């Protein structure tokens, strides 16, 4: 009669196990839209079966198995880093682009043309008071426009520096959150199976990835160790090595917990973009604008100095700028009066020889082998290209993040044989579409060549 | 993609762009079936671009409009090429991961090659 009680016992334990399985499924469904949640599976374990010794067999519930795979998580985190970087860069450089609108009727490009046009007008009537005043007015407008462009870039740079501090604070807060979870893992080995903690830590890691390039290594006790730039410890177990930022001579530096400069390791995420902007991209624009302002002022002033004014004196300077500071920020019109403008040459006082020479400066290659207008146009084109490139990267990175998230969802990581078959199918499919896309790219290139051949 | 019924080179290029848009969507949420389902339209696009190329060499036509369309196609192709590269790279890594999980590592330290065992299911 032992068999009846055994059978009832087996049935009861089976019902318990299936109840747990349904609980797990219900939990998966409830959390289907929970960010960072990974499905769990209830594993089943066969009970020992040996009628001779009274072991009745049956089924027991094993541990819950998470379908999360760190390889898949890292794939998503990599894309978060790229997207964080390109989004920050596209947003900030997008604020700079309007400062270099080459089609604007009020910007530097237009005022450069207007300025040299006033010298052209002066050649017609070199002693006309109105024409002389027009030169000073146009010079003033040009100087102010250059000042505004420089201050506009510096404002974007100042905002980026401020945001760098905010991002560093967010990184340290997330690091503290991860360290706190690690502490629970280390204190209680059962907590590594806590899906809630698992969800929280992976959400924190994913958010952190959008802020900076990190690498994550899970230790044997379940703790997640996080390294900034792959080298600088940010979280080791339950210990946070907080980073900080400093700004010396307009250069942003990221410092580790010991005060060491680790800026060069920050190449991804929002922080990577902010460092790139404030230390390289924006100073590059300002330097180019400084070159333009300095060259413009020096060239115009030296040409004026070669001539004589209405009173027969050597020409006075039209522009001034602070030699020790940024020329673009400080360029201004001197206190020159209309009679001090040297429109004539020393050999022909009262004439227009020097006004002709000044007009010629508008089209001659005076800076880096380009005219002032061309040089400024090149800078505007560079800014436009940088913005366009960042925006394209942002679109592409968003696509790749969506793709990585889909890949993470599509694999269960539980049944290796099923996964293996699917991976091989994917590899074949990617190879096939990759070959066809390569053919289409070759054809597109030959069509572009053919179009160019027909138009030349 | 619904192929153009006429033989306008720009329409051919736009048809190719539609095929690439379908592929782009498939690459964003990939499955082997979806990706392989794009192959016929991509093959057709390649054939038609070949026709466009031959026609251009024989007769210039409106090369300005063609140039504009083909540059847009080139940009589309650059986008899907990156998605293919990223997606294929992901599965190469996943294959190494699974190979190592299933059969360990070779003596040289490489992950064991991934082998998919066939299975037969009998019902009834």
- What gap in Å lies between CA A13 and CA A6, rounded to an integer? 10
Q: Do residues A50 and A80 share a domain?
A: no
Cβ atoms of A175 and A237 within 8 Å: the answer is no
Residue A409 belongs to some domain of the structure: no
Q: Do residues A61 and A81 share a domain?
A: no
Q: Do residues A19 and A99 share a domain?
A: no
Query: Which chain A residues are Cβ-neighbours of B16 within 8 angstroms?
Result: 440
Q: What is the DSSP letter of A77?
A: H
Residue B117 CA to its chain's centroid (Å)? 27
Which pTM does this prediction carry?
Answer: 0.80
Can you give the pLDDT at residue A1?
Answer: 47
Residues of chain A above pLDDT 90, percent: 66
Residue contacts between A and B (CB atoms, under 8 Å): 162
Query: Which chain A residues are Cβ-neighbours of B58 within 8 angstroms?
Result: none
Whole-number CA gyration radius for chain B = 21
Query: Which chain B residues are Cβ-neighbours of A433 within 8 angstroms?
Result: 23, 27, 35-36, 38-39, 42, 84
Lowest-pLDDT choice from A107-116, A169-178, A185-194, A348-357: A185-194
Of A167 and A193, more confident: A167
* Closest C-alpha among B40, B10, B106, B25 to residue A451: B10
Lowest-pLDDT choice from A11-25, A286-300, A393-407: A11-25
**In the predicted structure, residue B104 carries a pLDDT above the cut 90:** no
DSSP sequence for A9-57? HHHHHHHHHHHHHHHHHHHHHHTTTSTT---EEEEEEEPPEEGGGTEE-
Of A32 and A124, more confident: A124
Q: What is the DSSP letter of A212?
A: S
Q: Do residues A433 and A383 share a domain?
A: no
Query: How near does any CA of chain A get to the CA of B124, in Å?
Result: 23
Q: Which two tokens stand for residue A232?
A: 């600088």
Task: Specify the 3-state DSSP secondary structure of A79.
Answer: helix
Can you give the pLDDT at residue B109?
Answer: 83
How much is the mean pLDDT over chain A?
88
Residues B43-96 pLDDT 10s = 988 888 888 888 877 775 567 788 888 888 989 999 999 999 999 998 888 888
Report the pLDDT averaged over residues A137-143. 97
* Closest C-alpha among B90, B96, B89 to residue B111: B96
Can you give the pLDDT at residue A365?
Answer: 94
Give the contacts of B38 (CB within 8 A, at least 6 positions apart).
Answer: A433, B19, B22, B23, B26
Burial class (CB in 10 A: 0-12, 13-18, 19+), A48: exposed
CB atoms near residue A129 (< 10 Å): 11
Query: How near does any CA of chain A get to the CA of B32, in Å?
Result: 5
For the stretch A109-127, what's the b/e string if a residue is b when 16 or more beta carbons lie within 10 angstroms of its beta carbon? bbbbebbbebbebbbeebb
Q: Do residues A291 and A334 share a domain?
A: yes
Query: Which chain B residues are Cβ-neighbours of A402 within 8 angstroms?
Result: 28-29
DSSP sequence for A297-326? HHHHHHHHHHEE-TTSPBPPPSEE--TTS-
> Rounded to the nearest 10 degrees, how much is the dihedral formed by the CA atoms of B84, B86, B92, B93?
-170
Residue A422: domain span = 2-68+416-451
Q: Does the CB of B42 have a partner CB in chain A at under 8 Å?
A: yes
Of A21 and A436, more confident: A436
Residues of chain A above pLDDT 70, percent: 87
Cβ atoms of A342 and A305 within 8 Å: the answer is yes
Can you give the pLDDT at residue A26?
Answer: 63
Query: Which chain A residues are Cβ-neighbours of B35 within 8 angstroms?
Result: 426, 429-430, 432-433
Give the contacts of A60 (CB within 8 A, at least 6 positions apart).
Answer: A13, A17, A44, A45, A46, A47
Residue A411 belongs to some domain of the structure: no
DSSP sequence for B4-43? -SS--HHHHHHHHHHHHHHHHHHHHS--HHHHHHTHHHHH
From A447, which residue of chain B is nearest by alpha-carbon distance? B53
Residue A178 belongs to some domain of the structure: yes
Report the pLDDT averaged over residues A98-127. 90
Kindly determine whether residue A400 and residue B83, on different chains, have CB atoms separated by under 8 Å.
Answer: yes
Residues A260-270 pLDDT 10s = 999 999 999 99
Cβ atoms of B9 and A444 within 8 Å: the answer is no
Report the pLDDT averaged over residues A321-335. 93
Q: Do residues A267 and A140 share a domain?
A: yes
The number of folded domains in chain A is 2
Query: Which chain A residues are Cβ-neighbours of B71 within 8 angstroms?
Result: 448
Residues A186-238 pLDDT 10s = 988 787 778 889 889 999 999 999 999 999 999 988 899 999 998 899 999 99
Q: Do residues A190 and A237 share a domain?
A: yes
Q: Does the CB of B104 have a partner CB in chain A at under 8 Å?
A: no
Burial class (CB in 10 A: 0-12, 13-18, 19+), A22: exposed
Report the pLDDT averaged over residues A84-96. 96
pLDDT bucket at B117, cuts 50 / 70 / 90: low
Of A228 and A43, more confident: A228
Residues A341-363 pLDDT 10s = 999 999 999 999 999 999 999 99
**In the predicted structure, residue A103 carries a pLDDT above the cut 80:** no
Q: Do residues A188 and A218 share a domain?
A: yes
Residue A90 belongs to some domain of the structure: yes
Residue A180 belongs to some domain of the structure: yes
Kindly determine whether residue B32 and residue A426, on different chains, have CB atoms separated by under 8 Å.
Answer: yes
**In the predicted structure, residue A23 carries a pLDDT above the cut 80:** no
Can you give the pLDDT at residue A378?
Answer: 94
CA atoms within 13 A on the CB side of A12: 7
Give the contacts of A382 (CB within 8 A, at least 6 positions apart).
Answer: A285, A288
**In the predicted structure, residue A247 carries a pLDDT above the cut 70:** yes
Of A332 and B6, more confident: A332
> Is the reported ipTM for this assembly greater than 0.90?
no
Can you give the pLDDT at residue A164?
Answer: 97
- What gap in Å lies between CA A175 and CA A194, rounded to an integer? 20
Can you give the pLDDT at residue A27?
Answer: 62
Query: Which chain A residues are Cβ-neighbours of B92 within 8 angstroms?
Result: 427
Q: Do residues A79 and A63 share a domain?
A: no
Q: Which two tokens stand for residue A29?
A: 């469904």
Query: How near does any CA of chain B get to the CA of A421, in Å?
Result: 5
- What gap in Å lies between CA A67 and CA A78, rounded to an integer? 20
Can you give the pLDDT at residue B68?
Answer: 86
Give the mutation candidate from A443, A449, A453 for the B interface (greatest B CB count, under 10 A). Answer: A443
CB atoms near residue A226 (< 10 Å): 27
**In the predicted structure, residue A372 carries a pLDDT above the cut 90:** yes
Q: Do residues A330 and A441 share a domain?
A: no
Q: How far is CA A439 from CA A75, A171, A344, B30, B43, in A?
A: 28, 45, 66, 21, 9
Q: What is the DSSP letter of A263?
A: G
Q: Do residues A360 and A224 share a domain?
A: yes
Residue A129 belongs to some domain of the structure: yes
Q: Do residues A425 and A307 share a domain?
A: no
Cβ atoms of A327 and A290 within 8 Å: the answer is yes
Q: Which two tokens stand for residue A272?
A: 């990577």
Q: Which two tokens stand for residue A12?
A: 């009861």
Kindly determine whether residue B116 and residue A427, on different chains, have CB atoms separated by under 8 Å.
Answer: no
């Amino acid at each position: 009669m032992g068999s009846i009680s055994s059978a009832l016992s087996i049935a009861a334990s089976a019902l318990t196990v299936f109840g747990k399985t349904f609980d797990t499924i219900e939990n998966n469904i409830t959390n289907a839209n929970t960010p960072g949640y990974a499905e769990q599976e209830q594993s089943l374990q066969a009970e020992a079966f040996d009628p001779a010794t009274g072991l009745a067999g049956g089924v027991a519930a094993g541990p819950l198995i998470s379908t999360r795979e760190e390889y898949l998580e890292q794939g998503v985190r990599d894309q978060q880093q790229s997207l964080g970087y390109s989004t920050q860069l596209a947003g900030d450089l997008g604020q700079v682009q309007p400062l270099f609108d080459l089609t604007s009727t009020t910007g530097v490009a237009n005022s450069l043309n207007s300025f040299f046009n006033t010298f052209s007008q002066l050649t017609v009537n070199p002693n006309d008071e109105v024409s002389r005043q027009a030169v000073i007015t146009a010079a003033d407008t040009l100087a102010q426009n250059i000042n505004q462009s420089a201050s506009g870039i510096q404002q974007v740079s100042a905002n980026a520096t401020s945001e760098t501090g905010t991002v560093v604070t967010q990184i340290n807060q997330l690091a503290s959150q991860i360290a706190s979870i690690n502490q629970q893992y280390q204190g209680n080995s059962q907590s590594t199976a806590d899906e809630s903690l698992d969800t929280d830590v992976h959400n924190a890691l994913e958010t952190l990835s959008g802020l900076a390039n990190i690498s994550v290594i899970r230790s044997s006790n379940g703790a997640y160790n996080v390294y900034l730039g792959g080298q600088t410890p940010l979280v080791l177990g339950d210990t946070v090595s907080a980073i900080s930022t400093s700004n010396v001579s307009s250069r942003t530096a990221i410092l580790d917990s010991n005060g060491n400069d680790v800026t060069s390791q920050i190449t991804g995420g929002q922080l990577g973009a902010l460092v790139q902007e404030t230390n390289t991209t924006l100073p590059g624009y300002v330097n180019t604008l400084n070159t333009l302002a300095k060259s413009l002022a020096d060239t115009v002033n030296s040409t004026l100095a070669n001539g004589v004014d209405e009173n027969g004196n050597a020409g006075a300077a039209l522009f001034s700028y602070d030699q020790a500071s940024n020329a673009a920020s400080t360029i201004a019109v001197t206190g020159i009066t209309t009679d001090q403008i040297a429109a004539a040459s020393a050999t022909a006082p009262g004439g227009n020889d020097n006004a002709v020479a000044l007009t010629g400066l508008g089209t001659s290659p005076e800076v880096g082998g380009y005219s002032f207008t061309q040089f400024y146009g090149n800078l505007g084109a560079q800014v436009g290209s940088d913005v366009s490139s960042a925006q394209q990267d942002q679109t592409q990175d968003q696509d790749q993040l969506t793709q990585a998230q889909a890949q993470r969802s599509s694999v269960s990581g539980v049944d290796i044989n099923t996964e293996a078959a699917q991976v091989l199918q994917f590899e074949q499919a990617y190879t096939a579409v990759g070959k066809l896309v390569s053919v289409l790219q070759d054809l597109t290139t030959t069509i572009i060549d053919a179009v160019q051949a027909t138009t030349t | 993609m619904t192929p153009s019924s006429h033989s306008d080179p720009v329409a051919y290029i736009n048809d190719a762009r539609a095929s690439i848009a379908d592929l782009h969507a498939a690459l964003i949420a990939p499955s082997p079936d979806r990706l392989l389902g794009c192959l016929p339209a991509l093959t057709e696009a390649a054939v038609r671009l070949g026709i466009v190329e031959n026609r251009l060499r024989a007769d210039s036509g409106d090369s300005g409009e063609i140039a504009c369309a083909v540059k847009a196609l080139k940009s589309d192709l650059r986008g899907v090429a990156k998605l293919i590269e990223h997606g294929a790279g992901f599965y190469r890594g996943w294959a190494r991961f699974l190979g190592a999980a299933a059969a360990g590592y070779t003596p040289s330290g490489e992950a064991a090659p991934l082998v998919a065992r066939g299975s037969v299911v009998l019902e009834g």
